[in-house]
Amino acid sequence: MSRLSLKGLLVPNVTPFTREGELDVDGLRSCVRFWLEGGVSGLVPCGSNGEAPCLSREERMKVIETVVDEVNGKVPVVAGTGSVSTKETIAFTKDAKDLGADAVLVVTPYYFKLSSKEICEHYRAVCESSEFPLVLYNVPKFTGFSLEPAVFSKIANANENVVGVKDSSGNVGSMAEIIRLVGTRISVLAGTGDAVLPVLMSGGSGAVVAVANVFPRLCSGLYEAFVKGDFERACRLQRQVSFANEVLVKRHNQLSAIKAALKLQGLPGGYPRRPALLLDDEETRDIENLLKTMGEQDSVSK
């Protein structure tokens, strides 16, 4: 198995649905082109922002197949394959591998409260089933618990095909400890928009952040500024990314807010799948104000 190195700014991309709740494949293709034109380093379909828990197995496969085809090898595709059960996670991982993804993103099992031993065994079984590049995914906002850095280290050191960690805890101290423990061997990726630069400064490899759906060029520009050593610009861009994250991810239902922002920019982000609802008029005006403010900040920073 060749060693996959993930770095830069990746998009945990949304899944466009029609008003009736069906997949909008053409809309997804248009969005993929928008993200690629924004200079992103990779795409992550069927993650949290892709509403993966609301997708059937067949829908997951169609989304991954579409993204892989549209990307056409330009950047890595890291497909979300995590599920509640080990058996289903293994099946989803096999699907992603067969469909041409470059790696998989596997969220910690959710719903039931598991011990560290059970979680380690879960990842061991998934890794051994496919010997396919795998990124660990910690997102306590949705799963209800957070993995300790030592557990990350144990899983990564025990399974050769673990190539990365996406940590969406927002705990920069914890992410710095993950970097200390495993950052020389695998990619450590920030999973929240307000932690991108802090994680990079701590030795991380990049980020997978929701706001990149709406502002791919801004987010990729932050990474590029860091790599070039232009820290003044990197700090300025981080402030913009953090502001966008505050509005899109923290203030509103991020599934609905991100799709509303895409629609306001003329992009076919589609509708959220129920039970998530469209934003109301007041919430939509908040997104309109965000886009206006971000446009004004961008014009000043150029």
Question: What is the mean pLDDT of the segment spanning 206-230?
Answer: 98
Q: What sections of 25-165 are H helices per DSSP?
A: 25-37, 57-71, 86-98, 116-130, 140-143, 149-158
pLDDT at 296: 66
Q: What would the pLDDT profile of 235-255 be if each residue is shown by its tens digit?
A: 999 999 999 999 999 999 999
Mean pLDDT for all residues in the chain: 95
Q: Does position 264 have pLDDT exceeding 50, yes or no? A: yes
Question: What is the mean pLDDT of the segment spanning 256-268?
Answer: 98
Question: What is the mean pLDDT of the segment spanning 190-197?
Answer: 97
Give the model's confidence band at 4: pLDDT under 50 very low, under 70 low, under 90 confident, else very high. confident
- Architecture of the domain defined by 8-229: Alpha-Beta Barrel (3.20)
What span, in angstroms and rounded, lies between the C-alpha atoms of 88 and 79?
Answer: 14
Q: What would the pLDDT profile of 86-136 be if each residue is shown by its tens digit?
A: 999 999 999 999 999 999 999 999 999 999 999 999 999 999 998 899 999
Q: Does position 262 have pLDDT exceeding 80, yes or no? A: yes
Question: What is the mean pLDDT of the segment spanning 218-243?
Answer: 98
Domain definitions of the chain by residue range: 8-229
Q: Virtual CA dihedral for 128, 130, 131, 135, nearest 10 degrees?
A: -90
Point out the residues that are catalytic. 137, 166
Q: Sign (positive/negative) of CA torsion 269, 273, 274, 276?
A: negative
What span, in angstroms and rounded, lies between the C-alpha atoms of 117 and 121?
Answer: 6
How many CB atoms are located within 10 Å of the residue 9 CB? 27
pLDDT at 48: 96
Q: Does position 1 have pLDDT exceeding 50, yes or no? A: no
Type of residue at 166: K
What span, in angstroms and rounded, lies between the C-alpha atoms of 232 and 121?
Answer: 44
List beta partners, residue 227: none
Q: Does position 302 have pLDDT exceeding 70, yes or no? A: no
pTM of this structure: 0.95
Question: What is the mean pLDDT of the segment spanning 78-86?
Answer: 97
Q: Does position 301 have pLDDT exceeding 80, yes or no? A: no
Look up residue 19 and give its DSSP letter: T
Q: Does position 300 have pLDDT exceeding 50, yes or no? A: no
pLDDT at 299: 46
E-assigned strand segments in the chain: 8-11, 42-43, 78-80, 103-107, 134-138, 162-167, 187-190, 206-208
Give the model's confidence band at 298: pLDDT under 50 very low, under 70 low, under 90 confident, else very high. low
Question: What is the mean pLDDT of the segment spanning 273-286?
Answer: 96
Q: What would the pLDDT profile of 128-178 be if each residue is shown by its tens digit?
A: 998 899 999 999 999 998 999 999 999 999 999 999 999 999 999 999 999
Question: Do 75 and 40 contact (CB within 8 A), yes or no?
Answer: yes
pLDDT at 3: 74
